DNA sequence: AAGCTCTCCAACCGCGTTTAC
DNA sequence: GGTAAACGCGGTTGGAGAGCT
């Protein structure tokens, strides 16, 4: 049985917003705020729109400080790295890119960035750069110089291993947004050394050792959510962290970091891990996109592969991953 | 110039989660 | 604790504009 519609579909306007509607919505919110009730807002604002439509318009277009236009190489790298590690969790990724919305990033990924990656890993498109075979999943990760952060095979989600170092969740301080020094996406120059360097760089940028807790992310992040729990990933105290120790903890108690740990890392990792290691490889993925046959992947499965490689890169089992051959 | 295809992205939709009662 | 309403997210769609033939 389907759920009841959020509004009377027949009486609400759909399609592109007119400048007049934008003005009405913006003026109303500037004056009164959202009031915490998007459903009632359109009527109050004199708009013949569904509340969800108003919310989306505000979050993705009218909200202050929205950044439109070209993505920088740094932004590319952040998106690629986070996508590889947490998959299509656009709101979390957006939280790392001030001014960008999840919708923007999602569109950018689907229309440009994914293709950019395809160009990098397809031998035909960059003859001469053959350090990695295009049919290996690990080559995707390597081609991208994606960070590989390994969750320690213990029950604690507070520590992660990258290279020879172990990183712990950091409490009570802010860090800079994720940034990477090199831009392999622009020069197609792949090397193992830079992969390792990048992995280390990722960990050093995002996980700092302090008080046995690890901090991920930055202040002043901005996503499509208007102050929602994942709008910022910062300032997670030890006590806050303890609050989410149980599965039943409400989302409002969680910060973005906690969401990241429990959904982005822990939940996905548990799909991959069993026996405390990589003895078994689950074909399950968060969105259930894994096929049964590792050799069945086509072009459009690539981001699934990357996404999983990532589940994946928190416990990056090169041998297992290498078995998953792609054909396209 | 016309018709077709492709690309981009704003907006919609469905559903899981959270909140309020 | 149960239920319905509302929120928020991610996947998908559709239309406008650009590019090509």
Distance (Å, rounded) from C-alpha A109 to C-alpha A86? 14
Distance (Å, rounded) from C-alpha A245 to C-alpha A157? 10
* pLDDT value of position A310: 37
Return averaged pLDDT per consecutive 10 residues of chain A, 328 residues in all. Answer: 58 84 88 83 87 88 84 85 82 86 87 76 42 38 48 33 35 31 32 34 35 29 34 33 32 36 34 27 30 33 42 31 28
Q: Show Cβ contacts of residue A263 under 8 Å, excluding neighbours closer than 6 positions.
A: A89
* pLDDT value of position A218: 31
In percent, the amount of chain A with pLDDT more than 90 equals 0
**Separation between the CA of A119 and the C1’ of B2 (whole angstroms):** 34
Is the Cα torsion angle A43, A47, A106, A97 positive or negative in sign? negative
* Cβ < 7 Å from strand C, A residues 274-313: 287
- How far CA A87 is from CA of A79, A81, A276, A302, in Å, comes to 10, 9, 22, 12
Q: How is chain A split among helix, strand and coil, in percent rounded to 5?
A: 45, 10, 45
Distance (Å, rounded) from C-alpha A133 to C-alpha A122? 9
Which nucleotide comes closest to A106 if you measure CA to C1'? C10
List CB-based contacts (under 7 A) with strand B.
A 2-3, 6, 9, 13-17, 50, 52-53, 56-57, 60-61, 68, 103-104, 106-108, 110-112, 115, 250-252, 254
**Separation between the CA of A304 and the C1’ of C10 (whole angstroms):** 14
**Separation between the CA of A156 and the C1’ of B11 (whole angstroms):** 41
Among the residues of A207-244, which ranges form H helices? 238-243
Whether A141 contacts A77, CB under 8 Å: no
* pLDDT value of position A223: 35
Q: At what angle do helices A137-144 and A73-86 cross, to 10 degrees?
A: 150
* Cβ < 7 Å from strand C, A residues 44-83: 51-52, 55
Encoding tokens for residue A72? 């920088």
* pLDDT value of position A203: 39
Q: For chain A, how big is the Rg over CA atoms in Å?
A: 21
* pLDDT value of position A122: 57
* pLDDT value of position A44: 85
* pLDDT value of position A270: 30
Q: Is A190 helix (H, G, I), strand (E, B) or coil?
A: coil
- A136 strand-pairing partners: A325
* pLDDT value of position A72: 86
- How far CA A260 is from CA of A229, A230, A249, A264, A265, in Å, comes to 11, 9, 14, 4, 6
CB of residue A232 closer than 7 A to nucleic acid strand C?
Answer: no
């Amino acid at each position: 049985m389907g759920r009841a519609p959020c509004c009377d579909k027949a009486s609400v306007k759909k399609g592109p917003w007119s400048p007049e509607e934008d003005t009405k919505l913006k003026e109303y919110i500037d004056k009164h705020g959202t009031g915490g009730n998007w459903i009632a807002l359109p009527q109050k604002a004199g708009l013949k729109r569904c509340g969800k439509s108003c919310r989306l318009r505000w979050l993705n277009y009218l909200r202050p400080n929205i950044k439109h236009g070209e993505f920088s190489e740094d932004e590319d790298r952040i998106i690629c790295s986070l996508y590889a590690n947490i998959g299509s969790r656009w709101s979390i990724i957006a939280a790392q890119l001030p001014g960008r919305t999840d919708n923007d990033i999602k569109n950018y990924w689907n229309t440009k960035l994914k293709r950019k990656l395809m160009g990098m890993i397809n031998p035909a498109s960059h003859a001469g750069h053959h350090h990695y075979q295009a049919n290996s999943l690990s080559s995707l990760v390597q081609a991208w110089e994606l960070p590989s952060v390994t969750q320690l095979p213990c029950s604690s989600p507070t520590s992660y291993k990258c290279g020879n170092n172990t990183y712990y969740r950091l409490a009570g301080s802010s860090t800079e947004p994720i940034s990477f020094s090199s831009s392999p996406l622009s020069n197609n120059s792949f090397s193992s050394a830079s992969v390792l360097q990048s992995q280390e760089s990722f960990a050093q940028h995002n996980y700092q050792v302090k008080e046995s807790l690890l901090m991920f992310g930055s202040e002043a992040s901005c996503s499509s959510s208007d102050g929602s729990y994942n709008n910022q990933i910062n300032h997670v105290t030890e006590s806050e962290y303890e609050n989410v120790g149980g599965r039943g903890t409400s989302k409002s108690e969680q910060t973005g970091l906690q969401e990241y740990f429990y959904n982005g890392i822990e939940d996905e990792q548990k799909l991959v891990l069993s026996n405390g290691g990589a003895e078994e490889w689950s074909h399950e993925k968060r969105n259930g996109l894994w096929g049964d046959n590792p050799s069945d992947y086509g072009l459009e499965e690539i981001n699934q592969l990357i996404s999983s490689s990532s589940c994946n890169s928190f416990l990056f089992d090169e041998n297992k991953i290498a078995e998953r051959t792609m054909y396209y």
